[in-house]
Amino acid sequence: MPIRGDLHFQRQRFNAKAFQKGNKAVSWGLVIVTILINAVFEPVLRHFFGIAASDINVLKMLEVTGLGVLSYVLISFAFWAVCKCFGSKAAFTDHITAWGISYAPTAVCSIVVALSEVFFFIFWNNAIWGMLLNFVFVGILIWKAMLYFIYLREFAKLRGWRFFGACAVMGVIILVMAALNGYVGLKTPVL
């Protein structure tokens, strides 16, 4: 017999309830897909279709994959620590099963980044493609930002000044971690 939660899930609604319930498989699935697109798909695509054919470096792939997983665990830890300081009751394991649900736009972003970097000559100096890419990237950015606000509000249950405080602190942490991600070779930050 289907229960109500299942129905919600069947309809694929990406709402606050998805965060509240959390789902280990969906979370880690989205995170791993994002990391693999960054670490494996992009180099392979570059090897076969890139202008200067680069070699496939398996060791580097493994390293980037590991760093991606580390990045996810670290950002979940940061969310837990900051939300805890601002008075949220969610445990670390809750954060790690919930935040991954927001990786849908990140996965889409990493695909678009890989394609636009390897096939840059198609998009170069092309007004229509430029407009489309602009539309996609800005849309993804707004989408992710909204998931961030919904997460802090509905999952961590922060209201008022606590919400704004957590937003500001997490914003700084995310900026720093995005820079570090880029430094170690994750072109789309796994955050």
- Return residues touching other proteins (CB under 8 A): 1-2, 4, 7-8, 13-16, 104-105, 131, 134-136, 138-143, 146-147, 150, 154
Minimum Å gap between C-beta 14 and other proteins is 6
Minimum Å gap between C-beta 18 and other proteins is 10
Q: Which is nearer to other proteins, 90 or 136 (CB)?
A: 136
Q: Which is nearer to other proteins, 61 or 147 (CB)?
A: 147
Minimum Å gap between C-beta 129 and other proteins is 13
Q: Which is nearer to other proteins, 57 or 134 (CB)?
A: 134
DSSP string, 64-100: HHHHHHHHHHHHHHHHHHHHHHTT----HHHHHHHGG
Minimum Å gap between C-beta 82 and other proteins is 21
Per-residue HEC secondary structure of 36-72 comes to: HHHHHHHHHHHHHHCCCCCCCCHHHHHHHHHHHHHHH
Element (H, E) at 181: helix 161-184
Q: Which is nearer to other proteins, 15 or 54 (CB)?
A: 15
What does the DSSP 8-state code read for residue 101?
Answer: G
Minimum Å gap between C-beta 47 and other proteins is 32
CA 169 – CA 137 distance, rounded (Å): 24
Minimum Å gap between C-beta 131 and other proteins is 6
Nearest to 46 by CA among 61, 62, 24: 61
Nearest to 74 by CA among 96, 101, 102: 96
Q: Which is nearer to other proteins, 143 or 163 (CB)?
A: 143
Q: Which is nearer to other proteins, 136 or 177 (CB)?
A: 136
CA 53 – CA 184 distance, rounded (Å): 21
